[in-house]
Structure 1
Amino acid sequence: MSSTSLSPSPTTSAPERPDTPCVAVCSTTFDDVCRGCGRTVDEVAQWVFMDEAQREVVWQRILAQGYPRRNY
């Protein structure tokens, strides 16, 4: 009989995130920050070219600011 643990492994740190913070509520009215995801226009445009470390910096900032904002 095998003993399979259902608890997360010690190497599991952060919950999985989507590939992008985009929530399909794109609006940058009156400034350069999207009201849906919290990224700047430059960050949105450069997202696919960013490495994981650069994306993580953006993720940390937008999460601290209460983004991404989804309307349920």
Structure 2
Amino acid sequence: MSQTPPVRPDTPCVAVCSTTFDDVCRGCGRTVVEVSQWVFMTQEEKDVVWERILAEGYPRRQG
């Protein structure tokens, strides 16, 4: 039995960008390279990033 992939937004971006100043964005948890390469990544590569950032408690909206 195959599992249905999780439904996620197209990107983990929450418009709290800090990659100009930080190596890891405080909003989405992606690295500078992951942010810049996101549109070129395969779905499998994106899934790996999603798993990591979700495990680390991202994405975070600052209120």
Common fold by TM > 0.5: yes
TM-score, structure 1 as length reference: 0.75
Greater share of residues in helix = 2
Aligned length: 63
Cα displacement string for residues 12-70 of structure 1 (whole angstroms, at most 9, x for unaligned residues)? 63541100000000013653100000000000000000000000000000000000002
Instruction: Report sequence identity in percent.
Output: 71
TM-score, structure 2 as length reference: 0.84
Give 5+ residue unaligned stretches, structure 2. Answer: none
Question: Which protein is bigger by CA-based radius of gyration?
Answer: 1
* Larger RCO: 1 or 2 (CA < 8 Å, sep 6+): 2
Question: Partners in 1 of 2:36 and 2:25 — Cα distance?
Answer: 12
1:23 to 11, 14, 17: 14
2:43 to 45, 49, 52: 52
Give 5+ residue unaligned stretches, structure 1. Answer: 1-9
Computed over aligned residues only, the root mean square deviation of the Cα atoms, in angstroms, reads 2.0
